[in-house]
Structure 1
Amino acid sequence: LRGFVYVNSGATLTVNAGTRIVGDTTALGSALFVLRGARLVANGTAAAPVVFTSQRSAGNRSPGDWGGLVIVGNARANRVGNVIVEGSNGSVVGADPAGIVYTGGTVDSDNSGTLRYVRVEFAGYATLADAELNSFTFAAVGSGTTVEYVQALAGLDDHFEWFGGTVNGRYLVSYESGDDHFDGSEGYRGLNQFLIGLQSTYLTPRAGAGAVSADPQGFEVDGCNGGGCVAPSGANAQSAGRDEGLWNMNVFANFTLVGPASGVTVPGSGGVGAVLRRGTGGYYVNGVIARWPRGGISLRDSTSNNRFQVDSLIVRNLYFAENGGADGGFDAAGTNFGQASALTARNANIVVGTGVTAATLFTALPATPTNGASLDWSPAANSPIATGGLATFAADPRIAARVGTFITPTVYRGAAAPGGPKWWEGWTSYARN
């Protein structure tokens, strides 16, 4: 890929299993854009994944070596006007100076293709200030699209970012992000189950590609922010979406988020397992948040707290270990809205493992991973995350109605079943350069 390469409306790009696609590192920001009305069909296998990566050789790669994968669909978002994909109008070979618009979609069931056993490595690029390309960008992508068994590795900006849309996902892996591992906003209403995010260090980006974010988190989820966030009646712009049913209402179930160990320098505003803000709703169920130095969860503003109080922001059956913040991982009293007492009052059932370290929760979590095989996310013997999951949704009709049959309840917390299949094995990678 040299510069911005486009799959235009009406076209389907089919990528065979085992294909390796490289971003031209002599043209900074090289990226693949699958435009509205086009499809990408990338069907890898566990033995032969499709890999988007740097042109540079192993040992010489860096975050920001190329731009990333951008998919634009025709589903709805909660911003109005001609809003463009961040970075799509940057000074990159082949860029459209007007950028690529993703707002204005009308078909939530839109199909942008299939990503199965796909890896994106060493991507991300700041084409302009505050306009970065991500490893995976899903802009208004619809629920007809299939996303499962996909990994982002060593990217410069967010690893998975959803701007509106309804695309669902299973088996998502994120290792060593330069910004957020999972970032949803603008009326994103997709369902996701079985996610892994690991941050053991912050990698140095390629010179000229941009910088590590000032606030990298595990989850960073916004209701709406920026121009075009229309305030519904009696609310403010950060609550966009209420009147037309487009609250940000993503679902994340069975996630494992592990932050940097003690001694790793964390950017000043980063280091929180889950930051929920700007009027977001959503569901966070059966997860593990461990080793985040500034806190496990933070509910940042009154507009998101409004969603929390009326049960459109639901947090259930999480396990915290080795987190900073108050009371083992919450907002401190008097700041923000995610205090332990507030979550307890809403039946969050968050267990704080006093004295428990992240490493003891899993079968293999080395301080310095060496390759994909050195990480085993299965619960260790007698691990507290092997139990304690929300094992049925029948008692909570709100959750049951929202997740349908796509999300399955589990007796365990985190991304892996005790004694179950190691679904990340064989096709994921771990490398720092």
Structure 2
Amino acid sequence: MKKILFPVMMAAVFAACSKNDDNNTPPPTPGTTDMTAANISRTTDNSEFKELAGDTLKANITSNTVLKAGKTYILKNFVFVLNGATLKIEAGVTIKGMKTDKGTIIITRNGKIDAQGTADKPIVFTSNQDAPNRGDWGGIIILGNAPTNGLYNATRGLMAIEGGVNTTATGYGLHGGNKAEDNSGTLKYVRIEYAGIAFEQNNEINGLTFGSVGSGTTVDYVEVAYSGDDSFEWFGGTVNCNHLISYRATDDDFDTDNGFSGRVQFGIALRDHNVADFASGGASNGFESDNDADGSSNAPFTSAVFSNMTIIGPAANGTPVAPFKRGAHIRKNSRLSVFNSVFTAWPVGIFVDGVASEANATSNALEAKNNILADCVTPVAAGTKDFDAPKWFSTAAFSNKITVTLLDLKLTNVAYGTFDPTPAAGSALLSGADFSNAKLANFSKTTYVGAASGTDTWYKGWTKF
């Protein structure tokens, strides 16, 4: 999703979309942090945590608040965490988002989240509908003070997050700054289901959205299932993430924009061949990556590094509907790099699109090494005839491989409901990884390609397939 909302239609949109007085967020009071500033001083609330009164999250979190284990909570409206406060969620808590009120949690640049589940007691964000479906509630948005190449009100390095957030509460939807190590808190063993509601037409919220989130933030073991838009999207920032799962999303699995430069290791995606972005001009991809919407040379560049990703496309379970396009669409001057990963069952495996991204590939600013493409109708393609993408991908020193069928990967089960990406004995994925590239200096070293080793089944137990 690439639609960035700026506050030019603030009053009209808010009047049309707000249905509940609880969703009216007051402006900052005198003496509090100016949330519209290009760089804010993150404050900390050192008070004790108090349990949320009642079982409904519907008002802003302005002091340290805890959601207690063993309870189920209802999420109504846009709930902002701000004023240096932390929203703490104990292991095993379930939070159900309201569809009619567009329930969404927004961690502002001056707030934090501490959501630490466990493998046997994950924290679950889900729908409050009797028959849940994609887009039943908003999702989780985390905003930080790390760098972005975006622009807001003529200020470079500041952005308004998509999804109507800054329209609803001016300043509270902004992100960006100069604090690469900014800390927005922790997400661990968290499952996000049926999120991605539209604030208005063509302006949806993702399952989990990062706006300029810094590297001090911890994101580990997070699944987004049945998102109504992207599962994960990063707008700028430096946050590092591990053990991510995108299950049967609508649009893209992993979307990177506006200077995101973090590291992501161990990720899984499985697509539903009948569910995609059917909007006019819509395209559903595994990866989608832009430097920015204009493909400019604004810094910082989108230069995220991914390793050990297993990206299983729609053709694994049937004939894909038309909007499905590519396992990775790298375009608009992106410098994304992907190592030790597998893309399978996509119409196109990897698509390097446009002269700027093609030049990045030629200079090794954009890299693809030690990857496997399997069962892709067109394994590798480029946006212009002047760049020989198959020759680039097949450069001997890159150690990439192209195999004929999904069966060569010997994955245990790619079917919906019983999905298990564990590679069986003899799988091409069980060897071939390499971490000698300087971009992989801080990654965990594996011998296997993709997210699964055959012995470390980190994706079992806390997930929903």
Q: TM-score, normalised by structure 2?
A: 0.78
Which residue is equivalent to 1:197? 269
In structure 2, do the counterparts of structure 1 residues 176 and 107 end up closer, same or farther at CA, with 3 Å as the change threshold? Answer: same
CA-CA distance at 1:334 after TM superposition:
5.3
C-alpha contact 1:287 1:318 (8 A) present in aligned 2: yes
Residues 399-410 of structure 1: matches in 2 within 5 Å? Answer: 399-400=437-438, 402-405=439-442, 407-410=443-446
Q: Distance in 2 between matches of 1:181 and 1:212?
A: 19
C-alpha contact 2:264 2:307 (8 A) present in aligned 1: yes
Q: Distance in 1 between matches of 2:248 and 2:242?
A: 19
CA-CA distance at 1:148 after TM superposition:
0.2
CA-CA distance at 1:346 after TM superposition:
7.7
Which of 70, 86, 89 pairs up with 2:162? 86
Query: 1:331 and 2:389 equivalent?
Result: no
Q: Specify which structure has the bigger relative contact order, considering alpha-carbon pairs within 8 angstroms and separated by 6 or more residues.
A: 1
Q: In structure 2, the residue corresponding to 1:331 is in which secondary structure?
A: strand
Which residue is equivalent to 1:69? 140
Which residue is equivalent to 1:144? 216
Which residue is equivalent to 2:256? 184
Whichever of the two has the greater Rg, that structure is: 2
Which of 83, 96, 110 pairs up with 1:22? 96
Query: 1:122 and 2:194 equivalent?
Result: yes
Q: In structure 1, the residue corresponding to 2:373 is in which secondary structure?
A: strand
Which residue is equivalent to 1:4? 78
In structure 2, do the counterparts of structure 1 residues 51 and 113 end up closer, same or farther at CA, with 3 Å as the change threshold? Answer: same
The aligned amino acid for 1:313 is: L
CA-CA distance at 1:110 after TM superposition:
0.3
Q: In structure 2, the residue corresponding to 1:342 is in which secondary structure?
A: helix
In structure 2, do the counterparts of structure 1 residues 162 and 337 end up closer, same or farther at CA, with 3 Å as the change threshold? Answer: farther
The aligned amino acid for 1:266 is: V
C-alpha contact 1:259 1:271 (8 A) present in aligned 2: no
Q: Any idea what the Cα deviations from partners look like across 1:311-336, whole Å, max 9, x if unmatched?
A: 111110111111111xxx11169548
C-alpha contact 2:410 2:426 (8 A) present in aligned 1: no
CA-CA distance at 1:298 after TM superposition:
0.2
Give aligned pairs, total.
385
Q: Any idea what the Cα deviations from partners look like across 1:123-167, whole Å, max 9, x if unmatched?
A: 002213332200000100000000000000000101000000000
Q: Distance in 2 between matches of 1:5 and 1:310?
A: 44
The aligned amino acid for 1:4 is: F
The aligned amino acid for 1:296 is: G
Q: CA RMSD in A?
A: 2.2
In structure 2, do the counterparts of structure 1 residues 292 and 266 end up closer, same or farther at CA, with 3 Å as the change threshold? Answer: same
Any unmatched runs of 5+ in structure 2? 1-74, 154-158
C-alpha contact 1:240 1:279 (8 A) present in aligned 2: no
In structure 2, do the counterparts of structure 1 residues 346 and 4 end up closer, same or farther at CA, with 3 Å as the change threshold? Answer: farther
Which residue is equivalent to 2:87? 13
Which of 449, 460, 463 pairs up with 1:413? 449
Q: In structure 2, the residue corresponding to 1:347 is in which secondary structure?
A: helix
CA-CA distance at 1:81 after TM superposition:
2.6
Q: Any idea what the Cα deviations from partners look like across 1:185-236, whole Å, max 9, x if unmatched?
A: 111010110000100334489xxxx96982010000111115xxxxxxxxxx
Q: In structure 2, the residue corresponding to 1:6 is in which secondary structure?
A: strand
C-alpha contact 1:156 1:212 (8 A) present in aligned 2: no
Q: Distance in 2 between matches of 1:333 and 1:135?
A: 29
Which of 397, 400, 410 pairs up with 1:347? 397
CA-CA distance at 1:271 after TM superposition:
2.5
Which residue is equivalent to 1:287? 341
In structure 2, do the counterparts of structure 1 residues 331 and 75 end up closer, same or farther at CA, with 3 Å as the change threshold? Answer: same
Which of 325, 329, 339 pairs up with 1:275? 329
In structure 2, do the counterparts of structure 1 residues 337 and 153 end up closer, same or farther at CA, with 3 Å as the change threshold? Answer: farther
CA-CA distance at 1:99 after TM superposition:
6.8
CA-CA distance at 1:412 after TM superposition:
1.3
Paired-residue identity, %: 35
Q: Any idea what the Cα deviations from partners look like across 1:380-419, whole Å, max 9, x if unmatched?
A: 12011111211x41xxxxx32x3332x123221100113x
Which of 171, 179, 184 pairs up with 2:243? 171
Q: Distance in 1 between matches of 2:386 and 2:112?
A: 42
Q: Distance in 2 between matches of 1:225 and 1:56?
A: 35
Q: In structure 1, the residue corresponding to 2:160 is in which secondary structure?
A: coil
Q: Distance in 2 between matches of 1:248 and 1:383?
A: 33
Q: In structure 1, the residue corresponding to 2:115 is in which secondary structure?
A: strand
Q: TM-score, normalised by structure 1?
A: 0.84
The aligned amino acid for 1:56 is: Q
Q: Distance in 2 between matches of 1:186 and 1:379?
A: 35
Any unmatched runs of 5+ in structure 1? 227-236, 394-398
Q: Any idea what the Cα deviations from partners look like across 1:256-291, whole Å, max 9, x if unmatched?
A: 0000126434233x3210000111113210001000
Q: Which consecutive segments of 4 or more residues in structure 1 shift more than 6 A?
A: none
Q: In structure 1, the residue corresponding to 2:152 is in which secondary structure?
A: coil
CA-CA distance at 1:240 after TM superposition:
1.7
